[in-house]
Each structure stands twice: as structure tokens, then as C-alpha cells.
């Protein structure tokens, strides 16, 4: 027997739920929102952590975007609704981050093309996660790391990090970059 505190999971497919929402079934949207809530919370947490935005604002943006995705989804499309919705949600959060950055002093250090590239990678999404999802998550995590490296580190620090990761010694790095070993060490400490 099911507990009242845990509503019964809707067994309909995403496409069936989308169709029901378009027919006015608010319960169908609640079921979809429940399925996508972990993904939206996860994406909001990641994107808010990048540039100090409020996670709750991004979560609200994600929920609104989920509703828009339901309204705009073409059920005859070959794309799964989950892929379409997650892409829309990521893109809307990236747009919100970009808007925030354009209105702040931090935008001078941001590569907006790299930020745009995050939207092409689906976020983690609850029950959709599988082997392919794991690959996407690994790619997304790498993209976020690259974005942080590109925006938080100076050119010199990025060069030092690249050489360090390629296995160069401090002395070799100092020769390549025409800098002292101490400068190389200090840059790595900052990294």
C-alpha cells in the first residue's frame, strides 16, 4: 500500500504526459515536473556555483522553461522529450547566467562561447540516467572545469597548468615560459 506522503508515480511516458498537459491535464504536468525536478535542481546548483547566482532563481527559470518545453514540443519529432527539455533548460540557465554576467563586472573575464557550449550537453536527469547519461555527465563536468579554468585563471596560470598536466618539470616550464621556477611554483599554488 502506498503512503500518502509519497504520491504514486505516473507510469505514462513523457510523450503521453506532454500530450495530456496540452489537453489541459495539470496532473500530467505535475508528474513531468516531478521527473525533471532533480535535473533542474542539479543544473541550478551547478550554474549558480559558477558565477554566484542564486540557485533558487535558476531553479524557477528551469521550471518555467520546462513548462515552455511542454507547450513547444513536437510529439512527431524524433527527439525524445527528455533530451529536448533538458537542452531547453540548460540553454535558459546559460542565458540567465550570461544576462547576470553582462550586468556585473565579472563579464570581462568570461568567454561567452564556452558558456554557450555548456548548453549542448544534457544535464543529469533523474530516472533518465544510464550509461549514455554517465558519458554526458562526464563531458559536462569536464566542460564546467574548462570554463572555470578559462575564467578564473590568468593566461600565465593556464599556461603553467597546461605544461604541468603535460608532465613538464618546473625547470622545463620556466624555460618554455621564460619565467623563474619560483613564478611557476607560485602560479601552481594559485591554481
Write out pLDDT tens, residues 94-146: 888 877 777 665 444 555 455 454 444 444 344 343 444 445 555 666 667 67
Pair 58, 47: CB distance under 8 Å: yes
Residue 126 region, left (φ>0) first, then alpha (ψ -120 to 50), else beta? left
The answer on pLDDT for 27 being more than 70 is yes
Q: Is the pLDDT of residue 165 over 70?
A: yes
Reported as a pLDDT band with limits 50, 70 and 90, residue 65 is very high
Of the listed ranges 22-31, 70-79, 136-145, 181-190, the one predicted with least confidence: 136-145
Q: Is the pLDDT of residue 159 over 80?
A: yes
pTM more than 0.85: no
Q: What is the mean pLDDT of residues 78-91?
A: 87
CA distance 130 to 150: 30
* Nearest-angstrom CA–CA distance, 40 and 178: 46
Residues 6+ apart with CB under 8 A from 133: 122, 124, 125
pLDDT at 170 over 90: no
Query: How many C-alpha atoms does 134 have within 13 Å on its Cβ side?
Result: 2
Amino acid at each position: 500500500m502506498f503512503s500518502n506522503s509519497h504520491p504514486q508515480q505516473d507510469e505514462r511516458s513523457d510523450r503521453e504526459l506532454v500530450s495530456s498537459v496540452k489537453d489541459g491535464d495539470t496532473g500530467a504536468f505535475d508528474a513531468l515536473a516531478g521527473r525533471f525536478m532533480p535535473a533542474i535542481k542539479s543544473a541550478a546548483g551547478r550554474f549558480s556555483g559558477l558565477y554566484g547566482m542564486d540557485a533558487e532563481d535558476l531553479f524557477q527559470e528551469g521550471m518555467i522553461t520546462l513548462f515552455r518545453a511542454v507547450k513547444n514540443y513536437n510529439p512527431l519529432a524524433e527527439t525524445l522529450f527528455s533530451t529536448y527539455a533538458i537542452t531547453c533548460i540548460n540553454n535558459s540557465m546559460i542565458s540567465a547566467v550570461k544576462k547576470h554576467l553582462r550586468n556585473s563586472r565579472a563579464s570581462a573575464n568570461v568567454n561567452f562561447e564556452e558558456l554557450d557550449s555548456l548548453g549542448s550537453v544534457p544535464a543529469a536527469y533523474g530516472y533518465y540516467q544510464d550509461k549514455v547519461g554517465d558519458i554526458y555527465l562526464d563531458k559536462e563536468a569536464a566542460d564546467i572545469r574548462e570554463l572555470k579554468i578559462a575564467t578564473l585563471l590568468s593566461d600565465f596560470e593556464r599556461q603553467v597548468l597546461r605544461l604541468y598536466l603535460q608532465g613538464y618539470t618546473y625547470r622545463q616550464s620556466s624555460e618554455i615560459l621564460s619565467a623563474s621556477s619560483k613564478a611557476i611554483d607560485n602560479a601552481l599554488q594559485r591554481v
